[in-house]
Amino acid sequence: MTIADCVNRAIELFWRLLTAIVTTAFALMLTIMAIQVISRYALGIAVSWTDEASRYLFLAQIFLGSVLALRYQEHIRITVVTDLMGPRLRHVVASLADVICILVLLMLAIGGWNMMERTAGVLASTFRLSFSYIYMIQLISSLMMIGLLIGDLYRRLFIKLPAIHTDRSE
């Protein structure tokens, strides 16, 4: 097995692990919210930790799930305008969109870092867990998405795209 094969396997294992984390966060959030509803409305007991736990899991699945959506090109897109463009202009617009997304994600990462510093000593009310962990997920997710977008942008700009053939006889 070559080094490239080992790297590819490690990367694929990473994406499977991230998918498992997001799926587990969703399943746990769903279970905890069911416990919250059943305990509150069926039993008349308010379980204090369920609200906070479901909020943390929701944020984790949103940020980490966004990384997966970007990796698999599953984000919502409105392509009415770009479908009308020629291949070269579509290529330029896609590159410009990647640069804009990278800049926005940089701001999100910087904001996450700043909030991690500000909330390091602030503990959640029921878990006694630092709020900085929420912002750490934001930071890590932003950096991962920046890495994916830089890779896409590099491939788009420096690796030749396949020739686009159009048959005008139709």
pLDDT per residue over 120-136, tens digit each? 888 888 878 888 988 99
**Which residue stretches of the chain have pLDDT < 50?**
162-170
pLDDT of residue 161: 53
Give the domain extent around 137.
80-161
95 within 8 A of 149, measured Cβ to Cβ: no
112 within 8 A of 85, measured Cβ to Cβ: no
Clarify whether residues 20 and 85 are in a common domain. no
Closest Cα to residue 104, out of 138, 142, 64? 142
Clarify whether residues 89 and 154 are in a common domain. yes
Block residue for tokens 């630092």 = 130
Rounded Cα distance between 133 and 130, Å, is 6
Clarify whether residues 72 and 95 are in a common domain. no
67 within 8 A of 148, measured Cβ to Cβ: yes
Residue ending a domain, among 76, 95, 124, is 76
The total domain count for the chain is: 2
